[in-house]
């Protein structure tokens, strides 16, 4: 594990309940830990951009980890942003029952006295709903989650926070209405942006929306991990 004055970071190997071993990238604060946080990938895998997201939340005090969920089907795979169709096919082919086992193993890795939350982007932003229903979590956060209608029958056991882009074709007004109806206690925000507005290495990035969403996320995490 490499370290600097604020965090320690590196790859680690996790073991799921079914015995499957897979990789994860973890960053841990040098100082007091506010809670554990699992980051769930977009359709591209553990990209360098998401590693920086992990680091950023560790610098904010969260023991943060991103599991390599593609290890079940294609170990060490990172899909280029220029090949979304390949990424989408891989993500949609993942067995969700096994994905939940892997997320649970990541949760166990970073679970401390203040509990664990999950934060997902894109495909991972949909999976957080099922994770919230099946894993002991303090909170679950979705940035422009996709396939959300798939998860409307889930029964989350923790508070939810949804960030949506107003022009995101993956979350139409009809889908957002379905989400609000299914999870009326969830905190939901709509931004003047499209899909992937928080990914600062893609042309879809909208700084104002990303910064506001992140501030709201940190406020949410502070509340659920108090």
Mean pLDDT value across the chain = 97
CATH class name, domain 2-224:
alpha beta
Tell me the per-residue pLDDT of 24-71, one tens digit each, with 9 for 90 and over.
999 999 999 999 999 999 999 999 999 999 999 999 999 999 999 999
45 in Cβ contact with 24 (< 8 Å): no
Q: If you average pLDDT over residues 183-205, what whole number do you get? A: 98
Bridge partners (DSSP) listed for residue 140: 118, 160
- In whole angstroms, give the CA distance from residue 54 to residue 59: 9
pLDDT at residue number 5: 67
Residue percentage of the chain with pLDDT more than 70? 98
**221: nearest Cα among 129, 110, 140, 165:** 140
pLDDT at residue number 3: 60
Residue 208's Cβ-side half-sphere holds a number of Cα atoms within 13 Å equal to 4
pLDDT at residue number 147: 97
**For residue 86, is pLDDT > 70?**
yes
pLDDT at residue number 77: 95
206: tokens are 């909208």
pLDDT at residue number 17: 98
**107: nearest Cα among 43, 39, 7, 204:** 39
Q: How confident is the model at residue 1 (pLDDT cuts 50, 70, 90)?
A: low
Q: If you average pLDDT over residues 69-80, what whole number do you get? A: 96
pLDDT at residue number 108: 98
Residue percentage of the chain with pLDDT more than 90? 97
pLDDT at residue number 223: 98
pLDDT at residue number 16: 98
pLDDT at residue number 4: 66
């Amino acid at each position: 594990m490499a370290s600097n004055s604020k965090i320690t970071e590196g790859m680690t190997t996790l073991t799921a309940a079914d015995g499957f071993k897979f990789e994860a990238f973890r960053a841990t604060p040098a100082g007091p830990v506010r809670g554990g946080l699992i980051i769930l990938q977009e359709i591209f895998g553990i990209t360098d951009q998401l590693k920086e997201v992990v680091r950023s939340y560790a610098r904010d005090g969260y023991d943060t980890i991103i599991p390599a969920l593609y290890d079940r089907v294609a170990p060490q795979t990172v899909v280029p942003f220029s090949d979304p169709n390949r990424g989408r096919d891989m993500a949609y082919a993942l067995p969700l029952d096994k994905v939940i086992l892997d997320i649970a193993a990541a949760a166990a890795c970073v679970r401390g006295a203040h509990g664990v939350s999950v934060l997902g982007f894109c495909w991972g932003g949909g999976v957080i709903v099922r994770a919230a229903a099946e894993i002991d979590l303090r909170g679950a956060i979705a940035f422009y989650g996709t396939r959300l209608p798939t998860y409307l029958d889930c029964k989350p056991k923790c508070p939810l926070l949804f960030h949506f882009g107003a022009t995101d074709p993956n979350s139409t007004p009809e889908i957002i209405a379905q989400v609000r109806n299914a999870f009326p206690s969830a905190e939901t925000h709509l931004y003047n942006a499209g899909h992937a507005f928080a990914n600062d290495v893609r042309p879809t990035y909208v700084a104002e929306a990303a910064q506001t969403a992140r501030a709201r996320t940190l406020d949410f995490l502070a509340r659920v991990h108090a």
